[in-house]
Structures are given as C-alpha cells and as structure tokens.
Amino acid sequence: MPVMTMLEAIRHTLHEEMARDERVMVLGQDVATLGGVFRATEGLRDRFGAERVVDMPLAEAAIVGASLGLAWSGMVPVAEIQFLGFTQQAFHQVAGQLARIRARTGGDRGCAATIRAPFGGGVRAPELHSDSLEAQFAQCPGLKIVAPASAADARGLLASAIRDPDPVLYLEPLRGYRAVKDEVPEGDHTVPLGQAREVRHGDDCVIIAWSAMVHTCLRAAAEVEAATGASVGVLDLRSLVPLDVESIVAAAVRTGRVVVAQEAPPTAGFASEVVTVVQENAFYSLEAPVARVSGFDTPYPPGMLEEHWVPDSHRVAAAVRRTLEARA
Amino acid sequence: MADARPAATPVSADAENAPALGELLAEMTRARHWSTRLFNLQRQGRIGTTAPIDGEEAAVVGSAAAMDPAVDWAVPQYREPVGLGRFGEAVLRHTILYHSGHPDAGRYPAGVHVFPTQISIAAQIPHAVGLAWGMRLRRQPGVVLCYFGDGASSEGDFYEAANLAGVVRAPVILFCINNGWAISTPVRGQTAADSFAGKAAAAGIAGERVDGNDVVAVLEATAAARRRAAAGEGPTLIEAVTYRMGPHTTADDPTRYVPPDELELWRARDPIARLRRRLEEEGGWDDARQRALEEDADRRFDAALAAADATPLRTDCFIDSAYAQPTPELERQRRILGDAEAR
C-alpha cells in the first residue's frame, strides 16, 4: 500500500472520484488555477477541465448555497471553504438550507453536496483560521460531519462523503495535512460514515477524540503507559454525525474509565455530547468520572499563545492519570 | 367568435407558448381568490400563517407565463406559490399543505419544477443560481426563475448570488418583486439606490425595471430575459414595481404603517381590475365570464383542499425525512417518540 500524507490522500481521492463520476465537480476559492491554498485540488483543473473545477468568487454563502442548486441539477458538488472559521459567512446556508432541504421536501430530495474545510490550530495562522466549530454544525440536523485523523481514513471518508446522498461537512486537520502519513489502501476504498476506529487498544482507560487530537491522544496514551504501566486505548470517532454510539459505549463499559479530548472550547463542545452518551449508556460500568480535555472558553488566541491553548499530550496525559487514580 | 379574439391573441413574440390575455386574467383571478380562501382558512383557525398575494398577481403570473414548465424551474420565496398554477395543478394543493403545516408540502410530484417554499429571506437565490448553472453544465435546456422581494435585495445572499450568476453566466432570471414594503419598512428605508434593477450593474448583468401591475409588460420582459438566458447570454435582474395591497401576513396589521392615501392610489392600479377593463373594452370579457371563472376557482380550491385534508400524516415521518436513511441515533429517538405516544 502506498504511504501518503493526508493532503495527498485527499487530492488522490478527489482525482479518483472525479474520474469515477463525471457529475462530481469541485468549487471554491483558488481551487482551480492555484490548486488550492494547500494544493489539495492540484491537477484537477488540467485533468477535468474548467467546467468541473471552478475558481469561485470570494463569497462563502454563494459557494455553499449554489452547491444546493447544483446538487438539484444532478451535479455532485464538492465545495471547499478555505478555513472552517470562514464557514461562519455561510452558516445560514449550511444550517438553514443544505441541512434542511430534505426535511423541507418531506424526505423526497436531499442535497448530495460535500463541504471540505480545514480546521484546528498549530500552524501559526491569523485569526479565525484555527477555530474548531464542529459542535456548531452538530446542531444542524440533516448534516453529516466527518473528521478523519489518518490518510487512509481521509481517503475512505472523503469517497463516502462524496457518494453520500446527504450533505456532509468534511473536516480536515490543518496541522495534520503534511505531518500525518500512513498507508492508504489502493483501489476503491471507502469508510462508512458513522464508524469509530480503535487506534490503540487499552484495557484500563480509553481516550476518545477525532481529527488532529487523535495524534495528541496517542502520544498521551504512550506517555501514561510508559510512566505507570496502565493500558490506555484511543478511540478515533472519525464521524461525529452519525455518531458511533455503540463503539463509544463498548469502550466505556470495557475500561470503566473515559477521557474525551477536543480542541474546541469546553462549553457545549462536542466532547460534552460524547460524555453524555457515556453517562447515559455506561454509567454503572464507570469507575471514575468521565474527564473532558479541551481548549478554553475564549476566542482562539494569537499564534504565540496557541500551544498554551490547544491541549497537548501532557494535558491529556494528566487527565488520564487523574482518571486512572480516581476511585468510584 | 369575435368576442374571444383578444383573449386568444398571443401577447409576446418572445414567449411562443405564452397564454392569451384571458388565460392570464384567469390565472391572476385564481391567485387572488385562492389567496383569499387561504386567508379565510387562517381566520377560521384551520391553517397557520399565510402571506396574501393581493396586488402582486400580475408580477407573479406574468413572469411565470413566460416560462416553459416542462424544462424551466420556479424558485419562490413564500408569497408567490398561489400564482404558480402554470407549473402544475399540484402547486395549489402543496400550498395548502404548506400553510396547514403538513410535512409533505415540499414534496412536489416529479415533473413539477417548483422549489419548496423557503422562508429565510434571499437564501433561495444562491440555490436558483446553482440550479441554473448546473442545468447548463448538465446540458439540460431550461431557465430558472427566482422570486424575491425588495427587502431581500438588501441581503448578502442576493449580492453574492447575483454576482456569481454574472460570473458563470447562469441561465437564471432574478425576479425582484418590489411591492413597496418589507413588513413595515418602506423602500426608502431599504436602499438609497434609485432602483432595485440598478443593482444589476454591480453584478455586471442585465437589469430591467418593469410595471409590475401590467401583466403583459411583465410577461414580455420575462420572456426576453428567458430567451437571452436560454441562448447563453446570461442572467437578468428584473424589478417588477408593484404594491402589497394587503398585510404582510395574516399576523400583520398594516394600518399601523401603510399611509391610507398611498394604498388608495395603488388600489386604483389593481392589476386584475386593469386587465379586466382592457379585456372588457376589447370585448373579450364580461360579468358572466368572470363569475364562471370565480366558480371554477372555488371548485379547484375545494378539490385541492379536500386532497390536502386527505393527505395522510405519519407522526414519526420527521425521523425519516432528515436524512436519506435515519441514523442509528434517530432510530433510538423514534422509539422514544413511540413510547411517549403509547402512554
């Protein structure tokens, strides 16, 4: 199997999907001539032409809103928003329109559009480029949300998202674009939406995370295991909506100790949803309170502060150790 | 049959299949009649909020008349559907379903090319542009007619979508119904621009202002815009200048803000009375025809109302209509709903 960075896996998948289905088109700012500000769409315009790979005017609501109309015409739009923070300028189209159109038609007609957007900190980007807004979108019924942490999953989940009959928000980890490299299956590789992945097996505690935080949590698990001998697992949700409740509950029941880690601010973040799922379904198996590791209830800070703001492996490890030491 | 001649005369060279004047009057009369029936149903407590069309019939019916319902699409806001009978008999039934709060309202039968009613002001305009653009990419014939109001032209979605339409030369007609009011805000509070049609200049697209109470003028302007769009010559922004003669919705009290003399001025320009006078003068219309038309409109409404009332309602259908397949979590929630209703 070839080894790819996440960015290469995304680009490879866009090429594959456009070759597979002539209705698939890519639209966004700077996606055609430049090949995307991160080069995720490099080569697509030359290979598939300017009708199917389109540099859009600088207007997020039009990119997302037009995708709904394009989908109704029978095209399969894959829209890129340069940074998730800028989806705020299209939020009314995502939440109020794409996510609701199937319900608005009594289930008859959906919107098979994919919205790709990088998110998360760690690259010293200007304001609004690093925000983790996934919980805002999790409150948009009708929308699916995936957030891969590996190149293989980037490939499989993007293929599934593009083929899905409903709108999918596909979140790409900014700091994982080139830093994360792994083996990507050849051929037609898809990963079903709504299935978590056990990245590291552990019997004493499980850390639940998604996207770039999965790698932080893997380092934390190794740190704790080296220091204490405890067996610490990591569960990568991969998909926030639909959520793999079964795998979350199974891991909680098996270990009795759960830490949920996210990059977003703590209040009403998606981690809180995961904690609730554990509490509702595995309460009597818990041996310690479920711990939550997050950013802070502040706007994402300027670059010089970001390593203090984004949870690092030590903060996650400290939460794991407290959870291991707790006695119910 | 001399008295039928004016009613059968084609009204526009651009619209080969445009209805004759008599049919336009019929469609406009039905639109107002049905809007009034809906208003009365709301007052009887049988349905929810509605937005009366009174005054805007020429703008809606005239523009729809320029379209080919077999290949074209209408993307309404919310006041227009009673005037979109040209796009299919089903539109009235679905309009009743909408105001009844029935979840099947937006489930138009295949072949009815109407977008479901969309409430968030201007948010449908990017959809219309995307649809038109996609139809061209798919090499499908057809033009998209998108309705919105004067107030909507202040929204970002309008500017973003009009701009995009110009860039991709989408075969779309952006049809702005300037009815003088956005609820209680008059046009002078909406923009300092001389006209809404003038906003086309910013998008680099054609813009045209038309007397929205003159159904023939509306039809001709829309037909010309449709011909240009279909020929790949790009989109047009049409501003139809008209007046909202009724309340914003059944929940509104326009006596708090509409100047009575202004309303009287516009009542004197009532688009239905105006067309009827013209047809009567030309000998193509009389009271008997009008009565027959209104009776027919009533019969059609009664039939649509009966069909709407008979539309089955499954109380857990919202679980099934959010996604193509309910998520496992939604299936769990269906059981919660079932347990609650079993009590």
Q: Which residues pair with A181 in a beta bridge?
A: A5
**What interhelical angle do B21-43 and B90-100 show, nearest 10?**
20
Catalytic residues of A: 129
Residues within 8 A of B (CB atoms), A 6-25 only: 23, 25
Residue B339 has pLDDT above 90, yes or no: no
User: In the predicted model, what is the mean pLDDT of chain A?
Assistant: 97
CB-based burial of residue B169 (10 Å sphere; 0-12 exposed, 13-18 middle, 19+ buried)?
middle
- Divide the 328 residues of chain A into consecutive groups of 10 and give the mean pLDDT of each group: 97 98 98 97 98 98 98 98 97 98 98 98 94 98 98 98 98 97 96 98 98 98 98 98 98 98 98 98 98 98 97 98 90
Sign of the torsion formed by the C-alpha atoms of A28, A31, A33 and A36: positive
Structure tokens at B225: 């815009």
Q: Which residues pair with B101 in a beta bridge?
A: none
Chain B residues in contact with chain A using a Cβ-Cβ cutoff of 8 Å: 103-108, 115-116, 118, 120, 123, 125-135, 137-138, 140, 144, 156-157, 160-161, 163-164, 167-168, 317-318, 320-324, 327-329, 332
pTM over 0.90: yes
Q: Which residues pair with A54 in a beta bridge?
A: A27
Cα pseudo-dihedral B22, B26, B31, B33, rounded to 10:
140
CB of B285 within 8 A of CB of B279?
Answer: yes
DSSP letters, A262-311, are -SS-STT-HHHHHHHHHHHHHGGG-SSPPEEE---SSPPPPGGGHHHHS-
Residue B56, C-beta contacts closer than 8 angstroms, at least 6 positions apart: B79, B80, B83, B177, B179, B212, B242, B244, B271
DSSP letters, A195-262, are --EEEE--SSEEEEE-TTHHHHHHHHHHHHHHHH---EEEEE--EEETT-HHHHHHHHHHHS-EEEE-
What are A150-170's pLDDT values in tens digits?
999 999 999 999 999 999 999
Closest chain A residue to B123 measured between Cα atoms?
A: A93
| Predicted confidence band of residue B13 (pLDDT cuts 50, 70, 90) | low
pLDDT at residue number B311: 97
Residue B16 has pLDDT above 80, yes or no: no
Q: Does residue B16 sit in helix, strand or coil?
A: coil
- Closest CB to B329 among A23, A75, A245: A245
- Closest CB to B164 among A57, A72, A102: A57
Residue B5 has pLDDT above 60, yes or no: no
Residue B1 has pLDDT above 50, yes or no: no
Considering just the CA atoms, what is the radius of gyration of chain B in Å?
Answer: 21
Cα–Cα distance for residue pair A155/B186, rounded to 1 Å: 53
Residue B2 has pLDDT above 50, yes or no: no
| Residue whose entry in the numeric block shows the structure tokens 């406009």 | B28
Cα pseudo-dihedral A66, A70, A76, A77, rounded to 10:
-20
Cα–Cα distance for residue pair B167/A115, rounded to 1 Å: 21
Cα–Cα distance for residue pair B30/B27, rounded to 1 Å: 5
What are A312-327's pLDDT values in tens digits?
999 999 999 999 999 7
Residue B6 has pLDDT above 60, yes or no: no
CB of B57 within 8 A of CB of B272?
Answer: yes
Q: Percentage of chain B with pLDDT > 90?
A: 92
